[in-house]
Every structure is written in structure tokens, then in C-alpha cells.
Amino acid sequence: MGDVMDPHVPESLLASPAWTEPNPHTQMYLGDCRDVLAAMPERGSVDLIFADPPFNWDVPYDGWSDDMSRTQYERFTFDWLDACIDALGPTGSMWVNIPDDTAAEVVMHLKRRGLLMINWCVWHFRFGQHRDSSFIMSKVHALYFCKDPTARTWNPDEILEMSDRASIYGDKRTMEKSSNQGMRVPMDVWYGKYWGRIQGNNSERRHGHQNQIPEVYLERVILACSNEGDLVLDPFSGSGTTGTVARAHGRRSIGIEQSEKTAKSAWERITQIGMKRKGAAIGQSSAIFKRRSNKGKTGEDA
């Protein structure tokens, strides 16, 4: 899909990116995503949006107060969601990474705006912050919406994982299928090797960034919901995970980031460092039991 000029914004007022790089066309805009989304030439033509906003948990982002009143934060959330909806093309998909305390509001808002929910996925991690006043938080929601479910891009064969049938039971029938032997489309709870939060000396880690998301997460989203050459946009670029994975997989991309310091570091990652674990999301097993032996067992117990 080509770049589309918005007829409502005079050319002189259109936003322009701070950095661009060709092959595939990769851009980084500096500024508040609500302003940039409304004024960028690509408005209305984006194929896939992945948004991981500040959660209002008082994280010390460079140049951004992550401690709004609840009313302000809801207003902010609805405004950037609306700006994303306008940026998305008619066949586009949108993913939002959001914790428990705002997931319901995001779902309600997107439904009210006419988007359709395809999946309510959960990103499960096992390194939650210790607390004893309630259960330890070990998930964030990955909400998958689109404008038109029949026209959306959906590439299940690109993101298959090993089925439990194959990895636990060594079931011959799955290995004798005519295609995708031993594989299945992943379930809607995501975890496993390389799926943990990015911290410590993890090789993906970009120091100086807050809440960096693992590459495997973006790889699954981008491969499943876009094709090579499509335009992928992240309104809260942070360390640039979306742009890094999009570029590695031949997608055009736009990152938007309000902090110049953060954006510079993200740009270096996207254009010079690149993806560390390309392909790691594909073909893994997410089984929670080891392979079972069938010796001496029959029927249901086997």
C-alpha cells in the first residue's frame, strides 16, 4: 500500500520525520504521538499498529510525566487510541499492550469506535515484582483489534509453534499430517524461552530504556499481521523494538517518540544494531510438561 496524503491537512502543516533510512523505508518522528499521528502524510494508510503506552505507573521516562490523575490518563488514552484508528488503513490491525488497570477501558473504547476484537492475548512473564498483599502480577494484555476481520492480514503459517501433541506425547498422527507436521497456531497466552521481561544482562537489552518488550513478542505480531513491504507503526517507540523487528523482516516502519534522547538510541538500534534473535519466536514449544514415555501404558493413559 502506498503513502496516502490526507486531504484535510495542508501540505505545509504535515509532520516530517526526524530520521529516515531506505530499504525498507524506516522513519522516526519526534514528538507527542497525538500530534504526529494527526499530521503525518501516511495517515489512513498504516497496515499494522503496535502500541505499548506509558502505563501511568510513575516510571521515570525522559521528558514524560507518568503520573497523571486517573481522569487525565483516561483522556490521554482515548485520544491516542482515536489518533491510531485514524492512522490505520481500512484493512489494518492494531495491537495494544496494556496492564490490568486499563485493559477494560481500552477494549470498551475500541469497540465503541467500531473496531473488532480478534484476540485478547496475554503476555505471561515469570519475573513479576514480589509482593505479598495480593497475587504477584505476571501478565500484560496484548489486545488484537482490526477494522475489517475479513480483509485483515493474517499469516498463521508464519508463526507456528510446536504442538503439545508433538512435544509431550510424540503423537504420530500430528507428524503424519499433510502440512505443518507437529505444529499449531500459538495459543492466546504467550510465554516461553526469550519471552521474559528484558532486564539485567539480557543480550537484547538497551540500557537507559524503560519497559523494553522482547523481540519474540513483536516478531509474532509483525509476522502474523503484516506482509513484507507493509507499513508498521509504533506510536510509543521507546527502545525501538517494533522498528528493529519490522526492519529485520522487510516491513516499512514508523516510530514515534516524545524523547529525543530515547529516540536517538532507538534509531541506532533499529538501523545499526538490528535484531538479536531473528526467528526465535518460530517453532518453539510452549508445553509445560516434559515429554512423556508411553511405555507400558494403553488407551487414555498412554
Single residue of 27, 45, 167, 239 touching ligand SAM by CB under 6 A: 239
Closest CB to ligand SAM: residue number: 238
CA–CA separation, 297 vs 302, rounded Å? 5
Select 56 or 167, whichever has its Cβ closest to ligand SAM. 56
CB of residue 106 to ligand SAM, shortest distance in Å: 14
CB of residue 66 to ligand SAM, shortest distance in Å: 8
CB of residue 223 to ligand SAM, shortest distance in Å: 17
The three cell numbers of residue 152 are 485483515
Using CA atoms of 160, 234, 40, 153 in order, give the dihedral in degrees to the nearest 10: 10
265 sits near ligand SAM (criterion: CB under 6 A)? no
Cβ neighbours of residue 159 closer than 8 Å, sequence gap 6 or more: 185, 186, 220, 223, 224, 281, 282
219 sits near ligand SAM (criterion: CB under 6 A)? no
45 sits near ligand SAM (criterion: CB under 6 A)? no
Beta bridge partners of residue 133, listed in sequence order: none
Q: Are 36 and 15 a contacting pair, CB within 8 Å? A: yes
Which of these segments, 101-109, 149-157, 246-254, 257-265, binds ligand SAM (CB under 6 A)? Answer: 257-265
Q: Which amino acid is at 150?
A: T
140 sits near ligand SAM (criterion: CB under 6 A)? no
Q: Are 50 and 253 a contacting pair, CB within 8 Å? A: no
- Nearest in space to 241 (alpha carbons), one of 284, 190, 198: 198
255 sits near ligand SAM (criterion: CB under 6 A)? no
Query: What is the sign of the dihedral through the CA atoms of 287, 290, 294 and 297?
Result: negative
The label of the residue with cell 513484507 reads 228
212 sits near ligand SAM (criterion: CB under 6 A)? yes
CA–CA separation, 208 vs 198, rounded Å? 12
54 sits near ligand SAM (criterion: CB under 6 A)? yes
CB of residue 122 to ligand SAM, shortest distance in Å: 17
Select 210 or 285, whichever has its Cβ closest to ligand SAM. 210
Query: What is the sign of the dihedral through the CA atoms of 86, 62, 241 and 195?
Result: negative
Single residue of 73, 195, 236, 267 touching ligand SAM by CB under 6 A: 236
143 sits near ligand SAM (criterion: CB under 6 A)? no
61 sits near ligand SAM (criterion: CB under 6 A)? yes
Q: Are 286 and 186 a contacting pair, CB within 8 Å? A: yes
Build a one-symbol-per-residue string for 163-202: x at contacts with ligand SAM by CB under 6 A, - elsewhere.
----------------------------------------
Chain residues in the site for ligand SAM (CB under 6 A): 32-33, 52, 54, 61, 64, 209-213, 236, 238-239, 241, 256-259, 262
